[in-house]
Amino acid sequence: MKKVLALILALVMVAAVFAGCAKEETPADNGTEGGKTYKIIYLTPSTASDFWSQVETGIKQATKDYEAKLGIKIDYSVMGPAEESDAEGYVKAFENAIAAKPDAILTATLNIDPTVPKAKEAHDQGIVLNFVNCGLGNGDDGAYAEYYNEFYYCSNTTIGEMAGEAFLAAMETEGLSTESGVIGMQMNMENAALDFRMQGFADYIAEKAPGLTLTTIQYNGNDSADAQADAEGTISTYGKDLIGIYAGNNVTCDGVCAALRNANMKDGVVSVGVDSDDIEIAALRDGYLSAIIVQDAFTQGYMTMENAILTLTEGKNPESAQQVNVPPVIVTAENIDSEEIQFMMSPYVK
């Protein structure tokens, strides 16, 4: 009997030792939400866009970093239409995202009005909703702030102003006079937030080079073929009076670059685009594009996911401001090969 009791006591002591070891290895003992799984959906405006893919690269990097740092697991997935122009597809994807009952949704919208009720629905269901780049208002204006947790963006007014700065700098390099001439204005679509990219450019040019004339804005429905046709029409209409074209997003700029290539227009003309993709980069290197205003899509995506994770694990939004501006940079042939610019334009998960 004594031997049996001794054996039982020994087994209890061994079990206690293993239990203690297991407890020491649990990340939750460090004050984190270790071992917990959070379901987070990235609702992208376009699964085919290079820009939104760069945003997702930042999201994935933050996911990797914080899974390791906090000992948590992120059940991550992506939803969204193939093309930015599919507003109905985006709203439907938003409905599907809400129905999936995630802990958080990270998204951007190019169609504010139909997005607002979906944002409210997500908020009312307790879903942490973060916007990245394109939200429910213009930057820090606070529009519908009660329906989301955080918004990381790049000021569209600043983008337009920097495009104007780059345009005039390129004109000086080309030896072009600012006393007269026509600048073509092209954009993908009318949008309450994106319109500031065009207005910021127009205001900057009006202030710094009032002798220049801007065309009315041509909208292409986010179709590069239509953008090319518009650019070719502008080239044909204004001839030698045309000193350049400003393209407000990368899809539009792809079409502009194609038109300039076909017309072999390198010297004596200036072109500035926004956001980077392979077509724009090739055009910049080949001399058909003067500059690209590049948003730091990776950092915007990273901060958006980071904030969602910390909001979930800490129980509150860690940011002191609900809208955070992430500034862009001007990329030219002179700085495109720097390590910083290369990563910004072609980010990857480390």
CATH code for the domain of 220: 3.40.50.2300
Q: How many angstroms separate the most distant Cα atoms in the chain?
A: 108
Distance separating alpha carbons of residues 277 and 337, to the nearest angstrom: 15
Tell me, yes or no, whether 17 lies in a domain: no
pLDDT at 137: 87
Q: Percent of the chain scored above 70 by pLDDT?
A: 90
| Same domain, yes or no: 149 and 166 | no
Tell me, yes or no, whether 213 lies in a domain: yes
| Same domain, yes or no: 37 and 143 | yes
For the stretch 151-184, pLDDT in tens is 999 999 999 999 999 999 999 999 999 999 999 9
| Same domain, yes or no: 173 and 256 | yes
- Nearest Cα neighbor of 217 from 202, 236, 239 is 202
Tell me, yes or no, whether 277 lies in a domain: yes
| Same domain, yes or no: 113 and 217 | no
Tell me, yes or no, whether 23 lies in a domain: no
Tell me, yes or no, whether 300 lies in a domain: yes
Tell me, yes or no, whether 121 lies in a domain: yes
| Same domain, yes or no: 239 and 315 | no
| Same domain, yes or no: 119 and 173 | no
How far, in whole angstroms, is CA 8 from its chain's centroid?
62
Judge contact between 244 and 167, C-beta under 8 A: yes
pTM of the model: 0.74
| Same domain, yes or no: 177 and 259 | yes
Q: List, for the chain, all residue ranges whose pLDDT scores fall below the cut of 70.
A: 1-34
- Residue 127 tokens read as 């879903």
| CA pseudo-torsion sign 274, 45, 84, 189 | negative
| Same domain, yes or no: 150 and 257 | no
| Same domain, yes or no: 127 and 175 | no
Any alpha helices (H) in 78-155, and if so which ranges?
87-99, 112-124
- Residue 285 tokens read as 């290197």
Tell me, yes or no, whether 8 lies in a domain: no
pLDDT at 33: 55
| Same domain, yes or no: 179 and 282 | yes
| Same domain, yes or no: 183 and 102 | no
For the stretch 106-157, pLDDT in tens is 999 999 999 999 999 999 999 999 999 999 988 888 999 999 999 999 999 9
Tell me, yes or no, whether 104 lies in a domain: yes
| Same domain, yes or no: 213 and 288 | yes
320 is in which domain, residue-wise? Answer: 32-154+296-327
pLDDT at 10: 45
Question: Who contacts 222 (Cβ-Cβ below 8 Å, separation ≥6)?
Answer: 83, 84, 85, 188, 189, 249, 251, 252
Amino acid at 292: I
Cβ atoms < 10 Å from Cβ of 214: 15
Distance separating alpha carbons of residues 214 and 334, to the nearest angstrom: 27
Q: How many domains does the chain have?
A: 2
| 289 membership: H or E segment, kind and range | none
